[in-house]
Chain A
Amino acid sequence: MAATDLARIRNIGITAHIDAGKTTTTERILYYTGMSHRIGEVHEGNTTTDYMEQERERGITITSAAVTCEWKNHRINIIDTPGHIDFNIEVNRSLRVLDGAVFIIEGVAGVQPQSETNWRLADRYNVPRIIFINKLDRTGADFFRAFATLKEKLDIVALPLQLPIGIEDKFIGVVDLVEQKAIVWEGGELGAKYHDEPIPADLIEQAKEYRQNLLDTALAVDDAAMEEYFDKGDVSVETLKRCIKAGTISGAFRPVLCGTAFKNKGVQPLLDAVVDYLPSPVDVPGIKVAAGEGEDETAERRRIKADPNAPFAGLAFKIINDKYGTLTFVRVYSGTLKSGDTVLNTTRGHRERIGRMFQMHADKRQEIKEVVAGDIAAFVGLKDTGTGDTLAAAEDPVVLERMAFPVPVIDISVEPKTKESIEKMSIGLQKLAAEDPSLRLRTDQETGQTILSGMGELHLEIIIDRLKREYGVEANIGAPQVAYRETITRAHTETYTHKKQTGGSGQYAEVKITFEPLERNGGVVFENAVVGGAVPKEYIPAVEKGIKAQAETGVLAGFPTVDFKFTLVDGKYHDVDSSALAFEIAAKACFRDGMKKASPIILEPVMDVEITTPQDHVGDVVGDLNRRRGMIQNQESSGSTVIVRAHVPLKEMFGYISDLRSMTKGRASFTMQFHHYDPVPRNIADEIMAKSA
C-alpha cells in the first residue's frame, strides 16, 4: 500500500460514559456508510457491535468490537468500546492502538465520570480526539451547558465547529461554522437525507461570534494561514480545515460537533470530521519503542513510523477465544506481513508463524492474505502471544511500549458444581484470563480455593456467565470480597538460616534481607546488594522467586503484599548442602519473620463515587455516605439534580444500588471507579484478621 493510500486510513475509537450513545452512533455510521442495511438499536438487542449474548440481553457493551467502513474514499477502522468502568480495560487497550478517537458527551449531563476517566487515558496515549455532543433531542438537553463542562471538568480548549439549530424535540440540524451553512435533516429515510441551506436569520449573529472564535483559535497553529487571513480578511475552507487538523493532532484544541445519533441527525458531518481532522497512520509521530533495562522511562526514544516497506512491527492488543480457536488482534505499525510469514515475539523471545489473517467486522470475519502498516487485523494460531506483546521482524527486533493494565479490586471464590467440571473450569478460566488482563486468577494457598479477581461485581458476574455459556461449566461462587492488600510501614532487616541435616545431603542457606516500604503503586522491587560472593549468583534468582511467591500471602491476613522493596544484603552458603531450593525456602521464611517486624498494615481499595440525585434526597444520600465511611469531595447542582462526589471504601459499597434506590425512590443513580488504596482503620483490620485466622 502506498503512502497516499495510508493517508486514507483512519483507526478510531468511539468512547464515552455509559449510555451516552456510543453503540447507537456506531450503528448509524455503519448504516450511512453502507456497511449495514438496517439500523440496529441497543434497546432491541440487535446492534452489530454488541454481538455477545450478554451484551444483547443487558443492552450494554462489554467487549470492544472492531468494524470497518468506507466514507468518502477513506477506510475507517472503528472500535466501539464499553462505557461501564468494569470493562475499562477494553477502552485502555483500544486507545493504546488507535490514531484518533471520537468522545461522545451526553447533551443533558455533559461530561460524566467515565468520560473523564477515558479522557485521561487518551491523554496518556496522546490520542487526538474530536468531541460529539449527543442526545440534543432529549428533554433538558443544552449544548452550551454540556460544552461548558468540557472546560470545567477536562480543562481543555474546546472548539465548536457547529452550533445546534433548535433543541430538544425542535432540534433539526446544525450550523456548520467551517463552511458557513446550515445542515438540516429532512426526517424519514433514517436520517440519510439532509440538505444544506443558509444559516437561519436568528442564528446569524451567534454564528458570526463562534466563527470568529474558530478562526482565532484554529489559525493560531499555522502562520501561513494567518497571513492568508491578513491578506484576504478570511481563509479558504481548505486552509481552515488544514489548521483544524493540525490543532487536533497537536492537541492545541479539541473540535466539538453535535447532534442526536438516536434521531439520526449529525452523524454524517461527524464522519466528515473523522476524515478531515483525525490523523491517518502517517500523520502521527509513530509508536515509541519500550525503554531498555535501566533506561530512563521519560527519555526520548526511537519511534516506529508507518511505512509498509520497513521491517514488520505490530502490537497484540486483544485476544479472544471462540469456537474456531484463539484470535489475536494486532495493530500493525510498520512493514507488510503475509500469511505463512514468521515473526519474532520480541516481548517473550520466541518465534510465531502467522497462519490465517482476518479483517474483523464485529463477530464476522473476512480472510485477507496480507496486512500492511497502519492497519488492524486478527491473526489465528499464534501459540504464545499475550495482550501487549510485540511482534516484529527478525531483522529489526524492536519491543514496543507495553500497555498499562488496571488493578482488580474485587475477589470471588469459584468452584465447579460437579467434580467432573474441575478441569473444564480451570481451562475456561485460564482462557478468559488470557483474554482479559484486568482479570486475575490465583489459588488461595491456605484454602486451595480458586480466586478470581476483577474490576467490579458486574465484571465478575459476566465472567461467570461466560464460563457457563462458552465452556459449559456451572460454578458456585462465594460472596464478593474486597481485594485487600498488605504492605509495611517501616524498614526492617531480617536474617534467616535454613538448615536441615537429617542424613544424606543436607540443606543450607542463610539470607539477610532488608525490607523497606515503597510509595503506593510502587509494586514489589528487588535489589541484590551482596558483595564478595557471600551468596553465589546462581542462587540470587531463587531468593527473588521465594520472596515474590511468599508475598502473595501476606503475614497479617494472607492478602498479597505490595509496595515494598527487598534488598538481599548478605548471606552464607555451604559448598555441598546449598541449593536454589534451600535459598528459596530461606527467603520465604525470612519474609514471614521479617515482615511481621516491619509494622505491616492492611490496605483497602477506595472508590471514587459519583451520585446523581434529585435535590430533595441530597441529605439522605450524604448522611448515608458518611455512615459508609465516605469522604464527600464536592456537591454540584445541575438544574433540579445534585451531583455528589465522594471517596468511599469499596467494602462499604457492596449492594449500594438497592439501598440508593430505596432511599431515593429509584430516582438517583451512581457510578464508581477505583481511586486509590488506603490503610484500613484498626477496628476493621482486626475484623479482617480475625476472619482470616
Chain B
Amino acid sequence: MSAPRLHWMRGRSEEGPGIARALEWIGLDDAGKAIARVVRLKGPIWANWRQYRAVALDDEAKVVELRPTPPEGADWLACVGERVVGRAAVPLAAVRTVEEALNGD
C-alpha cells in the first residue's frame, strides 16, 4: 500500500470491560476535515425484542441496520462521506478500499 492519502485517526471505541478497541477509524484530509470512515460492523444484536443481524454506527453515532446482511468475513465498512465504497475483513484493507476509491474519484 502506498503511503495513506488521508490522515487516519481513531474514532469511537467499544464500551465495556477490557481493552477498548476502535469501532471506527476516521480519515481526515490535509485541512483536517473528516471525509471518510471505516466502521466495524456489530451483530447479531438484540434490541427492542428484535435481533439485528448486522449494525454499524453512522457518523452521528446512530445505530444503522444493514440490509441485506453483509457476507461473512466483511466486518468493516469503507465509507467516503455518506457513501459505502466497499467492505473488508480487517480495518487496514477497508482503509485501502477508501484510499483507492478516493484515488479513482
What mask results when residues 80 to 105 of chain B are scored 1 for a CB within 8 Å of chain A, else 0? 00000000001111001000000000
User: Are A226 and B3 in contact, with the CB atoms below 8 A?
Assistant: no
In the complex, how many angstroms separate the beta carbon of A521 from the nearest chain B beta carbon? 30
- Any chain B CB within 8 A of the CB of A423? no
Write the residues of chain A forming the contact surface with B, with a CB cutoff of 8 angstroms: 212, 215-217, 219-220, 223, 226-227, 229-230, 233
By the criterion CB–CB under 8 Å, are A217 and B10 in contact? Answer: no
Say whether B92 contacts A226, CB under 8 Å: yes
- Quick check: A216 and B7 within 8 Å, CB to CB? no
Task: Determine the distance from Cα of A147 to Cα of B26 in the docked complex, in whole angstroms.
Answer: 34
CB neighbours (8 Å) of A227 from chain B are 9-10
A412 to chain B, nearest CB (A): 48
Contact A220 B4 (CB under 8 A): no
Q: Are B22 and A215 in contact (CB under 8 A)?
A: no
Tell me, in angstroms, the Cα distance from A87 to B89 when the chains sit together. Answer: 39
Minimum C-beta distance from A423 to chain B (A): 60
B21 within 8 A of A: yes
Residues of B within 8 A of A220 (CB): 90-92
Contact of B92 with A223 in the complex, beta carbons under 8 Å: no
B4 touches A226 (CB 8 A): no
Give residues of chain B (35-86) contacting chain A, Cβ–Cβ below 8 Å.
none
Q: A223-B10, A226-B22, A226-B25 are in contact. Are A216 and B90 (CB under 8 A)?
A: yes
Q: B93 and A230: CB pair below 8 A?
A: no
Q: Given A216-B90, A219-B92, A220-B92, 20 more contacts at CB 8 Å?
A: A212-B1, A215-B92, A216-B92, A216-B93, A216-B96, A217-B90, A219-B90, A220-B91, A223-B22, A226-B8, A226-B10, A226-B22, A226-B25, A227-B9, A227-B10, A229-B92, A230-B8, A230-B9, A233-B3, A233-B4
Best-buried of B1, B4, B90 by chain A (most CB within 10 Å): B90
Report the interface size for chain B: residues with CB under 8 A from the other chain: 15
A-B contact count, CB below 8 Å? Answer: 30
Neighbouring B residues of A226 by C-beta, 8 Å:
8, 10, 22, 25, 91-92
**In the assembly, what is the distance between CA of A230 and CA of B36, in Å?**
14
Question: Within the assembled complex, what's the spacing in Å between the Cα atoms of A227 and B21?
Answer: 13
Question: Chain A contacts of B92 at CB under 8 A?
Answer: 215-216, 219-220, 226, 229
In the complex, the answer to whether A223 meets B21 with C-beta atoms within 8 Å is yes
Please list 9 pairs of residues, one from A and one from B, whose beta carbons are closer than 8 Å in the complex, sorted by A's number.
Answer: A212-B1, A219-B92, A220-B90, A223-B10, A226-B10, A226-B92, A227-B10, A230-B4, A230-B7
- Shortest C-beta distance, B21 to chain A (Å), equals 6
- Rounded to whole angstroms, the CA-CA distance of A88 and B8 in the bound complex is 50
Chain B residues, CB < 8 A from A212: 1
> Contacts of A219 on B, CB cut-off 8 Å?
90, 92
Minimum CB distance partner of A215 in chain B: B92
**Residue in B closest to A221 when the chains form the complex, CB atoms:** B21
Min CB–CB distance A642 → chain B (angstroms): 29
Complex: A220 Cα to B21 Cα, angstroms? 10
When distances are taken between beta carbons in the complex, the residues of chain B under 8 Å from A216 are 90, 92-93, 96
Residues of A within 8 A of B8 (CB): 226, 230
The distance in angstroms between the C-alpha atoms of A212 and B2, with both chains bound, is 11
Q: Which residue of A lies closest to B73 (CB)?
A: A157
Interface mask (B18-31 → A, CB under 8 Å = 1, otherwise 0): 00011001000000
Report the separation of the CA atoms of residues A212 and B1 in the bound assembly, to the nearest whole angstrom. Answer: 7
Contacts of B7 in A (CB 8 A): 230
Instruction: Specify the chain A residue showing the minimal Cβ separation from B76.
Output: A220
Complex formed: what's the CA distance from A316 to B69 in Å? 48
Q: Once the chains are docked, how many angstroms separate the CA of A227 from the CA of B13? A: 14
Closest to A220 in B: B90
State the CA gap A230–B25 with chains docked (Å): 11
The answer for the CA separation of A216 and B1 in the assembled complex, in Å, is 10
Once bound together, how far apart are the Cα atoms of A220 and B94, in whole Å? 11
**Distance between B36 CB and nearest chain A CB, rounded to angstroms:** 13
Contacts of A217 in B (CB 8 A): 90
A561 to B91, CA, bound (A): 54
Q: How far is the CB of A247 from chain B (nearest CB, A)?
A: 11
The 6 closest A-B pairs by CB, nearest first: A220-B90, A230-B8, A216-B92, A233-B3, A216-B90, A216-B93
In the complex formed, the residue of B with least CB distance to A232 is: B3
B22 to A, closest residue via Cβ: A223
The interface residues of chain A lying within 8 Å CB-to-CB of B93 are 216
Q: Considering the chains assembled together, what is the distance between the CA atoms of A29 and B42 in angstroms?
A: 44
Contacts of B10 in A (CB 8 A): 223, 226-227
Complex contacts, B3 vs chain A, CB 8 Å: 233
A28 to B12, CA, bound (A): 49
Chain A residues near B1 (CB-CB < 8 A): 212
Rounded to whole Å, the gap between the CB of B93 and the closest CB of chain A is 5
Q: How far is the CA of A601 from the CA of B22 in the complex (A)?
A: 57
In Å, the complex CA distance between A216 and B3 comes to 14
The residue of chain A having its C-beta at the shortest distance from the C-beta of B8 within the complex is A230
Which of A212, A216, A227 has the most C-beta atoms of chain B within 10 angstroms of its own C-beta? A216
Which residues of A are found within 8 Å of B96, using beta-carbon distances?
A: 216
Select from chain A the residue with minimum beta-carbon distance to B75.
A220
How far, in Å, is A238 (CB) from chain B's closest CB?
18
B41 → A minimal CB distance (Å): 14
Query: A223 vs B25: C-alpha distance in the bound complex, in angstroms?
Result: 10
Q: How far is the CB of A582 from chain B (nearest CB, A)?
A: 56
Q: How far is the CA of A216 from the CA of B91 in the complex (A)?
A: 7
Q: Chain A residues near B90 (CB, 8 Å)? A: 216-217, 219-220
For B4, B10, B25, B92, which residue has the most chain A Cβ atoms within 10 angstroms? B92
For A229, what are the chain B residues with a Cβ–Cβ distance below 8 Å?
92
Given the complex, which residues of B lie within 8 Å of A223, measured CB to CB? 10, 21-22
Chain A nearest CB from B99 CB (Å) reads 11
CA of A22 to CA of B41 in the docked complex: distance in angstroms?
A: 41
Question: Shortest Cβ distance from A226 into chain B, in angstroms?
Answer: 7
Bound Cα distance A402, B60 (Å) = 50
For the complex formed, measure the closest distance between the CB of B56 and the CB atoms of chain A, giving whole angstroms: 17
Smallest CB gap from B4: residue in A: A230
By a CB distance below 8 angstroms, the chain B residues around A230 are: 4, 7-9
CA distance A230 to B1 in the complex (A): 11
**Residues on the A chain within 8 Å of B22, using CB:** 223, 226
Q: In the bound complex, what is the Cα–Cα distance between A229 and B1 (angstroms)?
A: 11
Residues on A with C-beta less than 8 A from B9 are 227, 230
Most buried by B among A215, A217, A220, A227: A220
Residues from chain A with Cβ under 8 Å of B21 in the complex: 223
